[in-house]
Structure 1
Amino acid sequence: MSGDYAKRNSQGDHRLKQDDPVAIRLLKEEHHIFRTLFDKAEASDGAALVPIAQELCMRLAVHMTIEEEILYPALKPVIGEEEVDEGIVEHQSGKRIVAELENLDGTEKLYKSKVHVLGEETVHHIDEEDEDLFEEAKEAHAAGKIDLDALGETLRTRQAALYDEIAAKGEAEKTGDAVAEELETVGRG
């Protein structure tokens, strides 16, 4: 990881655009945060890396949850299964690393490497979403096949509820959503 992911936030389909419906805008805003946090993680070591990694794990868990519960099921019948299923598989990989990180304290030899790989995988995934999935979804929205503004409000409401749950638990560093044994069931059905 080169530490300059955030530069992409102002490039191509990664940019927030005037014609981005609410759902796309919400998710791209999160993608911008991820790229910025992964740059900060790459520039950090030791104890300074831990809170950044914890924030990334929490945010990623919420982000993946709203995509899997709301976005992906809504898009599957509209743009097809292949791209959505690929996103689910990429989420599984990310959840494995998040689960591992949540069980570490940051002093382990491979801690930074795990954060690094999570960054590479996440940025690859969100870049593909920005460039392919979201553009296809916007075309379907423009054609009246899906209402990404209404879907965006649903995503925003669920996202807020998940953050409220995390705040109520007082465990911002642990999401509890990424238990490795449960990951095998994600995407079945």
Structure 2
Amino acid sequence: MNKSRIPAAQKEVLSLLLDDHKRAKQLFKDFESQQDDAAKEDIAHTVCMELQIHTELEERHFYPFLRRQDPEAFGDLLDEAKVEHDSAKSLIGQILSMKPGDDLYDAKVIVLGEYVSHHVKEEEEELFPQIISKKIDLREMLDPMMETKERMQGQLAPATA
């Protein structure tokens, strides 16, 4: 194992996830400041699509890999993340079946943002530092995560007329 490559692989994988976190936080902020219903709907659909992709990356690749590396160290955090993802998926489904102006539409998007903010904080302040301190080699994660992300972006992209 080439130890000098581990930090670079960690940076690439964690940067992929961190970039998603930053994008979601910005979209939620944009939603809350937006007054136009059509713009709100576009923002909500975009953040829901991006969260669907992000949760798939974590659930299909990232979390199972970490659980195999050190079940004791990561188990509780990954269990909590699974519950958080399930709650987020439920809200995403509800939001995508609604329109701005429907009862609780804005509230559901805002609560989803709060769930995501909590989840991001745990990952960035607890999970990611453990990965770095344990020098876990994430190289094998990068290509599958990128392939899944690209495939899902193509599947979930809105059809253009």
Question: Which TM class, normalised by the smaller chain length?
Answer: 0.7 to 0.9
Gaps of 5+ in 2: 1-6
Aligned-pair CA distance for 1:127: 1.2
Q: Could you tell me which residue of structure 1 aligns to residue 123 of structure 2?
A: 129
Task: Tell whether 2:66 aligns with 1:75.
Answer: yes
Task: After TM superposition, give the deviation of residue 109 of structure 1 in Å.
Answer: 2.6
Equivalent residue of 1:105, what SS?
A: coil
Does the CA-based 8 Å contact 2:30-2:43 persist in structure 1?
A: yes
The reply on whether 1:89 has 2:83 as its aligned counterpart is: yes
In the other structure, the counterpart of 1:39 is: 29
Q: What's 1:22 paired with?
A: 12
Aligned match of 2:4: none
When you count helix as a share of all residues, which structure comes out higher?
2
Amino acid aligned to 2:80: E
Q: Give, in whole Å, the separation in 2 of the partners of 1:21 and 1:86.
A: 24
What is the match of residue 65 of structure 1? 56
Query: Which residue of 2 is the match for residue 153 of structure 1?
Result: 143
Q: Which residue of 2 aligns with 1:50?
A: 41
Q: Which amino acid aligns with 2:114?
A: E
Deviation digits for residues 158-183 of structure 1 (CA, Å, limit 9, x no counterpart):
1111112223x739xxxxxxxxxxxx
Following TM superposition, by how much is the alpha carbon of 1:38 offset from its aligned partner in structure 2, in angstroms?
0.8
The gaps in structure 1 that reach 5 residues or longer are: 1-16, 172-189
Matches of 1:153 and 1:130, distance apart in 2 = 22
Residue 138 of structure 1, aligned match among 125, 132, 143: 132
Task: Figure out how many residues of one structure are paired with residues of the other and give that number.
Answer: 150
- Residue 112 of structure 1 is matched in structure 2 by 106
User: Residue 18 of structure 1: CA displacement?
Assistant: 8.2
Cα RMSD after superposing both structures: 2.0
Deviation readout 1:78-116 (Å, 9 max, x if unpaired): 243111111000000100100000110222031111111
| Residues 37-77 of structure 1: CA deviation (Å, up to 9, x unaligned) | 11101111333211000001100000001100000000012
In structure 2, the CA distance between the partners of 1:163 and 1:39, relative to structure 1 (3 Å rule), is same
Structure 1 residues 157-166 or 49-58, which shifts more?
A: 157-166
